[in-house]
C-alpha cells in the first residue's frame, strides 16, 4: 500500500493509474468509481453546454398581421391630450431591487444546495486531492484523472441547463 495524493497520481501511456514516483500501477476502488462517474458527468456537461432544452415561442402569422393593423390604426389617431408620465420613486425602485435580489437569493441558495448535495458523491476524489489516501497495487484503466474543479464546473453546467 502506498499513501498518495492526486499530485502523486498519473496515467501511463496505456492509461493505467500509476504512482508518479514509483511508476507502479495502483488502485483504489472508491476513487476509481468516482473518477468513472466524473468522466460521464464532464462529457455530458460538454455535450449539453451549448444546447437549449426549453421550447421557444413560435411566431404566429395571424397575430403578426393583427399587430401590424393595430399599429397602423394607432398611427392615424390624433392625440389631443397627453397621457401622464409614470411617477418615479426612489423608494419604489429600492423595493423592486430588494424583491428581485431576494428572489434571486433563494434561487441561488437552492442551486448551491443542489450542487453541494450532488458533489458529495465525489468526496473520495476531494479527499485524495486535499489529504491523500492509501492506494493498493492493482491495474486500473482510466481515460483521465478528473479534479474536483473540473467536476464542479460540469455540475454547475448541468444544474444551469437542466434545473
Q: Which residue has the cell 453541494?
A: 116
* Alpha-carbon gap, residue 102 to 67, rounded angstroms: 36
* pLDDT tens-digit map of 58-90: 778 888 888 888 888 877 777 788 888 887 888
Q: How far is CA 105 from the centre of its chain?
A: 17
* pLDDT tens-digit map of 28-48: 999 999 999 999 999 999 988
Query: H or E element: which one contains 137?
Result: strand 133-137
Mean pLDDT of 9-24: 94
Sequence length of the chain is 163
What is the residue extent of each domain of the chain?
1-52+106-163
Q: What local confidence, expressed as pLDDT, does residue 163 receive?
A: 65
Q: Tell me the average pLDDT of the chain.
A: 89
The DSSP code sequence of 9-72 is: EEE-TT-BEEETTT--BEE-HHHHHHHHHHHHHHHHHHHHTT---SPPPPP-HHHHHHHHHHHH
Helices (H) and strands (E) in the chain, counts: 5, 5
**Helices 123-130, 148-162: crossing angle, 10 deg rounding:** 150
Amino acid at each position: 500500500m502506498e499513501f498518495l495524493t492526486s499530485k502523486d497520481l498519473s496515467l501511463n501511456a496505456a492509461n493505467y493509474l500509476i504512482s508518479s514516483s514509483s511508476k507502479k500501477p495502483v488502485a483504489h476502488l472508491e476513487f476509481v468509481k468516482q473518477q468513472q462517474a466524473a468522466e460521464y458527468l464532464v462529457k455530458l456537461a460538454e455535450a449539453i453546454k451549448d444546447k437549449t432544452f426549453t421550447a421557444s415561442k413560435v411566431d404566429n402569422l395571424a397575430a403578426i398581421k393583427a399587430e401590424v393593423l393595430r399599429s397602423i390604426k394607432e398611427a392615424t389617431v390624433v392625440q389631443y391630450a397627453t397621457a401622464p408620465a409614470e411617477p418615479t420613486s426612489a423608494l419604489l425602485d429600492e423595493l423592486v431591487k430588494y424583491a428581485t435580489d431576494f428572489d434571486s437569493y433563494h434561487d441561488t441558495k437552492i442551486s448551491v444546495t443542489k450542487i453541494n448535495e450532488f458533489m458529495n458523491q465525489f468526496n473520495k476524489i476531494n479527499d485524495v486531492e486535499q489529504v491523500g489516501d492509501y492506494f493498493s497495487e492493482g491495474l486500473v484503466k482510466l481515460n483521465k484523472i478528473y479534479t474536483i474543479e473540473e467536476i464542479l464546473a460540469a455540475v454547475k453546467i448541468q444544474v444551469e441547463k437542466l434545473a
